[in-house]
């Protein structure tokens, strides 16, 4: 079948976005593929459409439960019934039913942690898989900004699946990260598609302040002048909650979101935002992956991001409708200390490494007792299978060095007095072609554009409880 005809009959689209057709053609031809497409360019079509032609199941390794659920929901909305997600939230009876009929599903979504469980690996051995998809594949790289040790073990499953084709998808990867994706997925000569990273409709702004108080006052005034919907990224869970409360006090509909919330609460907040019931989300970097909202007008970083890669992922959630979107980074003197602590937070300490080596890879009680953090435990136990104690310490120090390099790039971004767009794109080994008129703060920004594209009426400040009660029970 003609690919354009298949695209139209499946999605109702008359043409492909740049890069999609080239990637799909290579997948259908049986090639391994690494695809770098900017956020919002429709990466999921690159495996969903070939699935209409490939004979067997498509196994998608996905890093976040929210992302997994969103993709499953989209497929079901399109009428695809043969889709399932395997995660730790499955009820035992549902898990048994799914495992019994695993080979009957066309799309199987799974987390990297579930993928390497012995029981799951045994079940996967019994089915036929045409294509393995590593979604958000930058997580595979030890230098990637979202390091996940279980992603490094995907290659262990390839022999069990009888070496299916592999499609690695990501929005952000440097040449170095791309090479590590090849290495860890055991790809010999993959087809690599690298789309230009530059999103012309996103305008980059940086505001600098003497202290955090001035930064907060600016945010309050800024939010009142330039409407959402928008996302405000904070460095900590506590700060995300504080910012949400501040906006609510200003009469602006907002909610906070972070990894410490109950799963159902996070799902509820995400749905409210997607439905337009909440204008602003104040969040840690836990929010955004898999959130498909075309008209997000703003992304504000209240505290500095920990890497350029993460920054580009986060600001890339704005302006997916192609209309102007504003990315504003707020910096106050002293933010470097927070940047340093956030950058190093997930890496194991020497004390944690030694504790896990003494307890062994099954000593999960170390997590329960608060001796070792969960992420650190996963990182250490992975490297324990590869290296002795001294080797693991050396490996973690290499990771630490890489994190410091990432942080230095963020500092360079903040201190630059030349084009921010050019610097950001250069971090991905690319160059800006045809710089837009509304580019960045160092080239001058026309802020009136964002007032024109405001898409919410300002909401009145919520009534206090006495006033609400008088409305419900009038005298």
In tens digits, what is the pLDDT along the chain, a chain of 475 residues?
689 999 998 888 889 988 999 999 999 999 999 999 887 778 899 999 999 999 999 999 988 777 787 788 888 888 888 999 998 778 888 888 999 999 999 999 998 888 988 999 999 999 999 999 999 898 887 666 666 778 888 988 999 999 999 999 998 888 888 999 999 899 999 999 999 889 999 999 999 999 989 999 999 999 888 878 999 999 889 999 999 999 999 889 999 998 888 878 888 898 899 888 999 999 988 787 667 788 999 999 999 988 898 899 899 999 988 899 999 999 998 887 777 777 777 789 999 999 999 999 889 999 999 999 888 898 898 889 889 999 999 999 988 888 888 889 999 999 999 999 999 999 998 999 899 999 999 999 999 888 755 444 444 444 454 554 454 454 4
C-alpha distances in angstroms, 418 versus 71, 113, 205, 313, 405? 39, 43, 12, 22, 21
The tokens describing 62, both together, are 């996905």
CA 373, 375, 378, 383 dihedral sign is negative
DSSP SS3 for 331: strand
Closest CA to 48 of 128, 110, 133: 133
pLDDT value at position 449? Answer: 87
Q: Calculate helix-pair angle for 212-225, 237-249, nearest 10 degrees.
A: 50
Instruction: Let me know if domain 202-339+408-452 sits in CATH 3.90.105.10.
Output: no
Q: How many CA atoms lie within 13 A of 10 on its CB side?
A: 22
In the chain, CATH 3.40.50.300 sits at 3-194, 202-339+408-452
Return all residues near 315 (Cβ < 8 A) that are at least 6 apart: 202, 204, 299, 327
CATH of 3-194, one of 3.40.50.300, 3.20.20.100, 3.40.50.920, 3.40.30.10: 3.40.50.300
* CA atoms of 425 and 436, how far apart (whole Å): 14
- pLDDT at position 22, please? 95
What values do phi and psi take at 20, rounded to 5?
-60, -50
DSSP assigned state of 319: -
pLDDT of residue 88: 77
Pairing of strands 191-194, 165-170: unpaired
Q: Report which of 156, 159, 157, 152 is spatially closest to residue 181, judged by C-alpha positions.
A: 152
Could you give the C-alpha distances from 363 to 111, 151, 369, 387, 389, in angstroms and in order? 22, 21, 11, 18, 16
Q: Looking at residue 145, what is its pLDDT?
A: 61
Model pLDDT, residue 107: 96
Separation CA 304–CA 161 (nearest Å)? 42
Write down the pLDDT at residue 457: 44
Q: pTM score, two decimals?
A: 0.83
Identify the CA nearest to 258 among candidates 287, 279, 230, 231. Answer: 287
């Amino acid at each position: 079948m003609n690919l354009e005809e298949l695209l139209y009959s499946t999605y109702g689209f008359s043409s492909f976005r740049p890069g999609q057709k080239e990637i799909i053609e290579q997948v259908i031809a049986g090639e391994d593929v690494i695809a770098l497409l900017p956020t919002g360019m429709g990466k999921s079509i690159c495996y969903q459409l070939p699935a209409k032609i490939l004979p067997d199941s498509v196994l998608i390794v996905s890093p976040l439960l929210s992302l997994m659920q969103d993709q499953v929901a989209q497929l079901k909305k399109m009428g695809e019934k043969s889709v399932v997600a395997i995660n730790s939230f499955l009820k035992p009876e549902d898990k048994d039913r799914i495992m019994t009929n695993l080979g009957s599903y066309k799309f199987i979504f799974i987390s990297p942690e579930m993928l390497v469980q012995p029981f799951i690996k045994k079940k996967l051995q019994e089915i036929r898989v045409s294509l393995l998809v590593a979604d958000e594949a930058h997580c595979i790289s030890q230098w990637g900004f979202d390091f996940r040790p279980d992603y490094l073990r995907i290659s262990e499953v390839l022999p069990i699946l009888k070496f299916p084709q592999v499609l690695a998808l990501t929005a952000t990867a440097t040449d170095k990260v791309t090479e590590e994706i090849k290495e860890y997925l055991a790809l010999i000569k993959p087809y690599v598609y690298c789309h230009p990273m530059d999103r012309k409709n996103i305008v980059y702004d940086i505001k600098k302040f003497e202290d955090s108080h001035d930064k907060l006052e600016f945010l309050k005034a800024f939010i009142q002048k330039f409407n959402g919907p928008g996302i405000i990224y904070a460095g900590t869970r506590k700060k995300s909650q504080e910012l949400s409360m501040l906006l609510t006090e200003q009469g602006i509909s907002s909610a906070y979101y972070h990894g410490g919330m109950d799963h159902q609460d996070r799902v509820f907040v995400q749905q409210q935002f997607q439905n337009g019931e909440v204008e602003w989300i104040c969040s840690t970097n836990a929010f955004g992956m898999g959130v498909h909202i075309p008209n997000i007008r703003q992304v504000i970083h209240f505290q500095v991001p920990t890497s350029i890669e993460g920054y580009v992922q986060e600001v890339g959630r704005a302006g997916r409708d192609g209309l102007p979107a504003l990315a504003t980074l707020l910096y106050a003197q002293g933010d470097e200390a927070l940047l340093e602590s956030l950058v190093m937070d997930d890496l194991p300490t020497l004390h944690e490494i030694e504790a896990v080596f003494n307890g062994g890879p099954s000593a999960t009680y170390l997590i329960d007792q608060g001796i070792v953090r969960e992420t650190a435990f996963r990182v250490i136990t992975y490297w324990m299978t590869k290296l002795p104690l001294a080797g693991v310490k050396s490996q973690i120090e290499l990771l630490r060095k890489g994190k410091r390099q990432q942080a230095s790039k963020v500092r360079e971004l903040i201190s630059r007095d030349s084009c921010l767009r050019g610097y950001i794109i250069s971090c991905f080994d690319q160059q800006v072609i045809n710089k837009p008129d509304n580019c960045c703060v160092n080239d001058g920004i026309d802020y009136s554009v964002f007032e024109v594209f405001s898409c919410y009426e300002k909401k009145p400040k919520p009534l206090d409880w006495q006033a609400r009660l008088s409305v419900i029970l009038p005298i």
